[in-house]
Amino acid sequence: MPKEEKLNNLFWKLVNAALAVAVLMGLSGMVALYRYQKSLYPARTVVVSAEGKTTVTPDIATLSFSVVSEGKDPGKLSVDNTEKMNAAIAFMKERGVEEKDIKTAGYNLSPRYEYDEDRRSSFISGYILTQTVVVKVRDFSKIGTMLGALPGLGVNQVGSLSFDIEDQDAYLNVAREEAFDKAHAKAKTMAKQNGTRIKRVVTFSESQGGYYPRAVFESYGKGGADIAAAPAPSIEPGSQEVTVNVTVVYEIR
């Protein structure tokens, strides 16, 4: 083959290779450009907010109570205090409260100081022992009886009673679904009224109103006969709304 023909063939092979490379680079560039355009924040958007809510009925009550004892002998004080608390815990178990729902929340022995005016100094005149237990009650019909009986068992301080729910996420999911459904319907209506259509969700966020434990029973103070004579209170757990607020940004076309 003549030398000129070989050079000519080589030239066209190089041209074809260059064209192939250019085509591939062009396609790659188009893909990159498409991805870049997709990543850009749309110029035409609409922002919609909506609220979803559902009513929650509590299924757990949390009750705290304490035995507060005072005396000069810490040993005797501990025995007396523990006997009373053990009696109260046994009573709770007899009423159907499971062991897993009973927790000791505090055991505090502290000195009681008095001031001697003659010596101008403080001295320990005795001790105060406070033992506290937190109980979860699942049968609300027994709460009033429990509260009424505790003082007679030696419990002389009853903390606040609060109501809560175990599976809060289930209620939040219901409220969230309603909120997003409302947001979508609202966006469609707004777009239609303005002669356009929603295309896709660009971004979204939410804030939760949530459910907060509700305290309904104020504490008894320390005391004696008055507490022991306290009647069983009427306990009403009531209900509360769980709310979820969402904000959705839609692209429109």
What mean pLDDT value characterizes the chain? 82
Q: Is the domain of 53 the same as that of 71?
A: no
Query: Which has the closest alpha carbon to 245: 178, 186, 201, 179?
Result: 179
Q: Is the domain of 188 the same as that of 213?
A: yes
Q: How confident is the model at residue 217 (pLDDT cuts 50, 70, 90)?
A: very low
Q: Give the model confidence (pLDDT) of 123-156 as tens digits.
A: 888 999 999 999 999 999 899 999 999 999 999 9
CB 105 within 8 A of CB 157: no
CATH number (domain holding residue 215):
3.30.110.170
Q: Is the domain of 178 the same as that of 137?
A: no
pLDDT reported for residue 220: 47
65 located within any domain: yes
8 located within any domain: no
Q: How confident is the model at residue 77 (pLDDT cuts 50, 70, 90)?
A: very high
Percent of the chain with pLDDT strictly greater than 90: 51
**Number of independent structural domains in the chain:** 2
**Mean pLDDT on 199-204:** 91
Query: Which has the closest alpha carbon to 176: 54, 2, 48?
Result: 54
Q: Is 80 a residue whose pLDDT tops 90?
A: yes
Boundaries of domain holding 67: 60-164
Here the tokens at position 39 are 């990543």
22 located within any domain: no
* Number of CB atoms found within 10 A of residue 89's CB: 18
Q: How confident is the model at residue 159 (pLDDT cuts 50, 70, 90)?
A: confident
Q: Name the pTM for this structure.
A: 0.62
Q: Which residues pair with 71 in a beta bridge?
A: 127
46 located within any domain: yes
Sequence-ordered list of residues with C-beta below 8 angstroms from that of 145, at least 6 positions apart, any chain: 95, 232
Q: Dihedrals φ, ψ of 238, to 5°?
A: 65, -160
12 located within any domain: no
Query: Which has the closest alpha carbon to 175: 51, 18, 11?
Result: 51
Decide: helix, strand or coil at residue 71. Answer: strand
